């Protein structure tokens, strides 16, 4: 293993096709303003380094980054790469991760629009993220203790598990498939429209017009506060622990709720049963 320490690199493809190297306390910056420093490389370990130039990790295999900073100038930092570990680092450039696979991110700070597009096999833990269109079209995600804020997150994702997360977002999970969310807080508008196979367990949910046009939607022991016009044209099985402001035209299934503010059932195709206390409400009539 070749160890490189205390160096500054600013030229184009400074360490192109490097294999089996460790970088410690190095900086990628300078007047030459070169790109693609470690393109087409493998088995790269990066410790306490600073990246202020574009496209450093493209077409790489086996990258370990720790205690490092990728600045806002370090755009599109990791593309078309695999077997990546990032720990205790700042990822602050736009489009920081895309078309990558087998990724572990832990104890990081992410500020990156369009982060994580078309990524596969991503584990994220104890991380804060700020983004738009976060993780779009990605698959096989496992997130634990992730605090996310931004718009249009997790759209078109497949096969994901989220635990103990906080999401302050809008239009999350649109067109998502096979998603499980446990013990999490989700704040935002228009949650999970057009999703299929979304399950939420012991979650706290707020925001207008959630869960519309969903298929195979399940909510188990969830709170829904400050939510209105929920479940429109969805197939749903839900057990809610709090009052919901309004429910509108769910198509099929059952919704168990302590009480609701308004039940709108003016669509003849809305056949879902709403059970509030001892009363059962269905289209066009009320049963005791």
For residue range 24-40, what is the model confidence (pLDDT) as tens digits?
A: 999 999 999 999 999 99
Region 237-262: what's the mean pLDDT? Answer: 97
Look at the chain and report how many structural domains it folds into.
2
Region 212-217: what's the mean pLDDT? Answer: 98
Of 45, 94, 97, 39, the residue nearest 66 (C-alpha): 45
Asked whether residue 127 is assigned to any structural domain, the reply reads no
Residues 68 and 199 in one domain: no
The predicted pLDDT at position 236 comes to 98
Question: Is the confidence at residue 287, as pLDDT, over 60?
Answer: no
Asked whether residue 112 is assigned to any structural domain, the reply reads no
Query: Residue 8 is part of a domain; what is its CATH number?
Result: 2.160.20
Confidence class for position 278, pLDDT limits 50, 70, 90: confident
Residues 72 and 13 in one domain: yes
Q: Mean pLDDT for the chain? A: 96
Contacts of 288 (CB under 8 A, 6+ apart): 278, 279, 280
Q: Domain containing 209: what range? A: 132-288
Region 70-75: what's the mean pLDDT? Answer: 98
Residues 176 and 242 in one domain: yes
Asked whether residue 111 is assigned to any structural domain, the reply reads no
C-alpha 212/C-alpha 216 separation (Å) is 12
Give CA 71 to chain center in angstroms.
21
Residues 267 and 184 in one domain: yes
DSSP state of 18: -
Asked whether residue 110 is assigned to any structural domain, the reply reads no
Q: What is the dihedral of CA 207, 125, 159, 254, to 10 degrees?
A: -40
């Amino acid at each position: 293993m070749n160890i490189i320490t205390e160096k500054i690199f600013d030229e184009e493809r400074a360490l192109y096709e490097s294999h089996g190297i460790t970088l410690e306390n190095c900086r990628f910056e300078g007047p030459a303003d070169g790109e693609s420093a470690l393109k087409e490389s493998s088995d790269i370990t990066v410790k306490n380094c600073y990246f202020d130039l574009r496209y450093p990790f493209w077409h790489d295999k086996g990258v370990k980054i720790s205690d490092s900073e990728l600045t806002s100038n370090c755009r599109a930092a990791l593309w078309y790469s695999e077997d990546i570990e990032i720990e205790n680092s700042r990822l602050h450039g736009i489009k920081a991760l895309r078309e990558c696979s087998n990724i572990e991110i832990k104890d990081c700070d992410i500020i990156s629009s369009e982060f994580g597009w078309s990524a596969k096999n991503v584990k994220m833990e104890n991380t804060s993220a700020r983004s738009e269109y976060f993780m779009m079209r990605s698959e096989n995600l496992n997130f634990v203790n992730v605090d996310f804020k931004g718009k249009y997150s997790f759209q078109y994702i497949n096969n994901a598990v989220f635990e103990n997360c906080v999401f302050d977002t809008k239009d999350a999970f649109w067109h998502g498939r096979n998603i499980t969310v446990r013990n999490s807080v989700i704040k935002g508008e228009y949650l999970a429209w057009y999703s299929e196979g979304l399950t939420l367990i012991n979650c706290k949910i707020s925001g207008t017009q959630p869960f519309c046009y969903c298929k195979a939607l399940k909510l188990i022991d969830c709170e829904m506060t400050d939510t209105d016009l929920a479940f429109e044209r969805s197939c749903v099985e839900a057990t809610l622990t709090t009052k919901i402001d309004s429910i509108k035209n769910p198509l099929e299934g059952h919704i168990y709720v302590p009480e609701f503010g308004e039940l709108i059932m003016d669509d003849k195709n809305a056949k879902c049963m709403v059970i509030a206390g001892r009363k059962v409400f269905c289209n066009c009539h009320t049963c005791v």
